[in-house]
Amino acid sequence: MTVNNEGWGAFKTNKWLFTTPSSSYARPRTPVQNSKVSESQINGKIVETPPTRRADRPRTLSDRGNEILDNHEAVQHLYAWNFSELRENYTEKGIHNPSIYCYAISCVQLLSHVPAIVRLLQDHRCQDPACLCCNWKKYFLQNTNHAGSIAWFREAFKKDKKFNQGRQEDAHDALLAILGKVEKICVANPRLKGRKIADDLFGYSIRNEVHCRVCKNKHVYYENNTVMTVRMLKKDPSGRNHSIKELMQHLFADTTIYGYNCANCKKKSDAPVKPTLLRAPQILLLHISRFSFDGWGKKISRPVTLNETLDVANMATAGASTVYKLCGAVIHGGTTLDYGHYWCVARSRKRETQFVTLNDSQVSQHANPRDATQSYIVLYRRAEHLVDSGIEKSMI
Ligand SMILES: [Zn+2]
Ligand SMILES: [Zn+2]
């Protein structure tokens, strides 16, 4: 089966992932997976690959996928969101920024507040002096100085020259690159039995149900990824700010593929698509695409309110409730794409009811996520894994 390019181009859930300039690095490897035949999309071209033996196929989510992923014994121990259970109890500290590394520092800070990531770092040791994970642990987490260093981040990407161009880079790109490095250390961890850890922790799946208007056939396409990109909405006439839940809901709104090429009847038509969230991830990582292109790239600076509690029931395939709690965000301050400053707000490791601001070497103990309206990356955790103190109140 060949999937029509035009059809995929109109797929709103993929469109900007392939056109946003800043998302060029580490694009989803299999943005859309057909349940019957595997296709790969490379630089906009569809390459059909023959079906492989069942055992050799890349692991993909299906309608049964959630349960299989979430109940796998090899990763269950990672899910608890509790820093007190970690071998070492790290204090909150900043990272010294020698010049333009706030995009990396903010992501390192955000991920250093994910217990599963810290557990993986604690378990890891290797012989590579440039290993991002070894150095992350040694020069930042375990470092007893007031502020850690970030030189190891640049060092880890020296060979491929990524993030070594002497300019401010995109935090979303850095986040994906860091997750790629974490993924690599997991392969060597015997406890994880070859699991793809980024999928286990952050992996989500969107089920796109397409109806052919000509033959009335139903086609289902799965879209798997780890960082969910949501777009800014048009300015609300009343002037109120949109919430991140509204941005996410827009991703799951019914839409149309114009010129959809039906594999069954081989006819082209405008086909309605119903996207639903098949797998609600353990950790929901949202990237707010604040870019607009109008001859040149511009930043959309409109504020977005972060819901402290977010239930995805009305987006879920089975309408099931999965409640998330806000755990952190990377914020971009500044009105242009190439300049400005990134910093991080995260749930404190010491007191889960408290948020801290981590701005380069500065740490402020009392942050209010309500102020994080210029967020660029937002991190949510399933509420079931978070210690419920009863103190928190839903913001919205
Ligand atoms: Zn290492
Ligand atoms: Zn058809």
Nearest ligand, CA 187? 1
Residue 185 Cα, ligand 1 centroid: separation in angstroms?
A: 7
Residue 259 Cα, ligand 2 centroid: separation in angstroms?
A: 12
Can you give the pLDDT at residue 142?
87
Please list the pLDDT of the chain residue by residue as tens digits (396 residues): 222 223 333 333 322 222 222 333 333 333 333 333 233 333 333 333 444 455 544 444 555 555 556 666 667 777 777 777 777 778 899 999 988 999 999 999 999 999 999 989 988 989 899 999 999 999 898 888 788 889 999 999 998 888 888 888 899 999 999 999 998 888 777 777 777 888 888 989 899 999 999 999 999 988 888 999 999 999 999 999 999 999 999 999 999 999 999 999 999 999 999 999 998 999 999 999 998 877 777 889 999 999 999 999 999 998 889 999 999 999 999 887 778 899 999 999 888 889 999 999 999 998 998 889 999 999 999 987 765 544 343 333
Residue 178 Cα, ligand 1 centroid: separation in angstroms?
A: 13
Residue 38 Cα, ligand 1 centroid: separation in angstroms?
A: 34
Show the 3-state SS of 150-163. Answer: CHHHHHHCCCCCCC
Whole-number Å distance between alpha carbons of 130 and 138:
12
Residue 125 Cα, ligand 1 centroid: separation in angstroms?
A: 5
Number of C-beta neighbours around residue 93 at 10 A = 18
In order of their start, the domains of the chain are 5-45+61-385 (3.90.70.10)
The half-sphere exposure of 348 on its side-chain side, counting CA atoms within 13 A, is: 16
Residue 268 Cα, ligand 2 centroid: separation in angstroms?
A: 8
Residue 214 Cα, ligand 2 centroid: separation in angstroms?
A: 5
Q: Could you tell me which of 254, 265, 252, 253 has the C-alpha nearest to residue 212?
A: 265
Residue 396 Cα, ligand 2 centroid: separation in angstroms?
A: 43
Nearest ligand, CA 188? 1
Nearest ligand, CA 185? 1
Nearest ligand, CA 134? 1
Residue 14 Cα, ligand 2 centroid: separation in angstroms?
A: 22
* Long-range CB pairs of 12-18, under 8 A, 24+ apart, other chains included: 12/251, 12/255, 13/206, 13/208, 13/223, 13/251, 13/275, 14/223, 16/229, 16/231, 16/289, 17/225, 17/229, 18/44
Nearest ligand, CA 184? 1
Can you give the pLDDT at residue 190?
78
Partners of 40 in beta bridges: 47
Nearest ligand, CA 271? 2
Residue 43 Cα, ligand 1 centroid: separation in angstroms?
A: 32
Give the pair of three-digit tokens for residue 274.
């119903």
